[in-house]
Structure 1
Amino acid sequence: QDEILLGSDHHFHLIGSYGLTEAVARVQQRLGNPPPVVDGSRRRGVGFAIAMQGSGLAKIHEARVSLRLKPDGRYELRTGAVDVGTGSDTTLRQIIADQLSTTVEAIDLIAADTQQTPFDAGSYASATLYISGTACLRAAQELRSILLHQASQLLNVPPPDLSLSSTQVMGPISLPLTTLAEKAIAAGDTLTVEQSYAADASTLTFAVQGVEVEVDLDTGRVTVLRCVQVLDIGKAINPRICEGQAIGGTVMGLGYALQEELIRDSQGQTVNPLFRTYRLPLAKEVPPIDIEFIEQPDPHGPLGAKGIGEIGTNCTAPAVANAIANATGVRLYQLPMTPERVWRALHERHDP
């Protein structure tokens, strides 16, 4: 079936596009499955993991947007969505630009200002592109229809014979957007639309990751040599931003897997609150990371897109744990897998 409901009817998770099988094959092809390498006290192994992540929270997360054509012929988007480093300020405008046949640069943005922007539930749960993006898509489609209808009346040309460009309405007779806006304002018409969206279902993004690690049996130190991750994300609205999200998520997952841990004393106070004592991955420690996307447009997302904000992190820790087990035969169940924990696990295996 093209669409599968996981669990009972109230679960709200849907599989719209499904590229998991292809993703598994591509990771295996890229990483291969070399046998563990024995080099003195060091052992090498590979591990794989699969994860899925819903796009937004169905029936909970609501996004509202406002879109208008300004008198100067530029567009203005108002949204409460917050760009927290995900590039959503760009991708939301890309969705609109696609529908209005214009450029991102021609769309002015007012975002995350509670006095000036409509409500948005927030930037979380891999929801901004999926939820806010759909609201933007619907707003752009409605505004496009209004603009062509207004131009049709002014030019006496049927709407199907008209189209939008970045600066004018095109047809047998062309009409600059500035003139269209001027005449609409003079007639008391509004060229502003508002749309809201709350998804009935959350479509699933899938990821497959493979890693190769080297484990020092004497010290328990784990070195990740390379990472390969293939993600089924529907349509990539902005492939470069998607790649940045996936790489950043992988690095976050490496810290989660191997070194990041808050340590508290008997009074519950954090004893390592500084970057000097709370170890984040450093740039020099990041291994080569290969990212690839499976692009099969999802019927539930805007222009076929699905969320990518969290899925890039989910596979890393289990893939590293599997690689350590492949290299040493020892399975670890606690994160982070620090040298001490790996060393203890290795020695407990040999203790009577």
Structure 2
Amino acid sequence: MLKITIVAGARPNFIKIAPIVNAISRQKSEGKALNYRLVHTGQHYDYQLSGSFFEELNIPKPDANLGIGSGSQAEQTAKIMMAFERELLENPCDLVLVVGDVTSTLACSITAKKLQIPVAHVEAGIRSFDFAMPEEINRMVTDSISDYFFTTTQEASNYLVSIGKNPENIHFVGNVMIDTLKNFENEFKKPTFFDENFLSPKKYFVLTLHRPSNVDAEHQLNELVRFICEKAQSIPVVFPIHPRTKKKFATAELPKNLILTKPLGYLEFNYLVKNALGILTDSGGITEEATVMRIPCITLRENTERPETISIGTNELAGKNLTLIEVLMQKIIKNDWKKGEIPAKWDGKSAERIVEILEEIKP
């Protein structure tokens, strides 16, 4: 029996672990020698960023919640490592499975390896090469010490080979986020504010911002939001505001076409995305979802670790270039956006491929 500890800590993690947990459960019910223990680090503790996802995505209640809470990058990393070490010592396993690139991914990988426990990294090998992003450091360190690698693209697999990883342990399986998207697309739920604000499909933009480079400078954040609202003309801009962003955002004299909302659950948020005219975001995961739903997407970053969303999908990179943002928004408004295609193996079966490979690992 292979005993796997699966780690989740933040909103993107929950979306990625949901299909993996369900696939393991199906295989276990069929008599396969797999078992898992689900650990929530508590890195995201706001209900809309954490708790609602477990309910909406039918993820079983975590076997343990480490309750880490907020803090600086260093504080969170240290707290997670200390708590996760106790967790692993009290509940031994054969493999630790981490997903994505958040602080929990890094901290739990290091902790497992120091206890001589193999690590499998889902979404391995992607790179932005931007060391100002904490996520890039998390990815690089996690990949440097992991034993098994599950990648979203062939390019990510090729990169891991180029840095000396054993090709036999690298598996191009596709994108587990898209598994969740396809599993729940028919259950997307209209938010209550949709009708209250007289929103109509394909007649509004969705805006999300949470990266430090966009939200830590208060004046810059406010100017960017106001610029986007101005260039949207009279088209509504729906802005589900992240708690981190809310602390910096001045709510006095909001643009008339800005609709400010609290963070949304998975089903409500993706209803917004699916029905949007276009997306403006600094989130990597949203660019993937927009690509699969074929929604025009402008990334408000100078780089991306998901270049396939640009070369194949519906995404374009704008950074902080206001002129380019305006040009791209006009292309969306004029229905002059590229069609986009869906990358290989983004077909909703990635978790199944991962679990089939895990079955071959001998404890």
The TM-score, its normalising length taken from structure 2, stands at 0.25
Structure (1/2) with the larger strand percentage: 1
Where is the helix percentage greater, Structure 1 or Structure 2?
A: 2
TM-score w.r.t. length of structure 1: 0.25
Question: Whose radius of gyration is greater, 1 or 2?
Answer: 1
Relative contact order: is structure 1 or structure 2 higher (C-alpha 8 Å, sep ≥ 6)?
A: 1
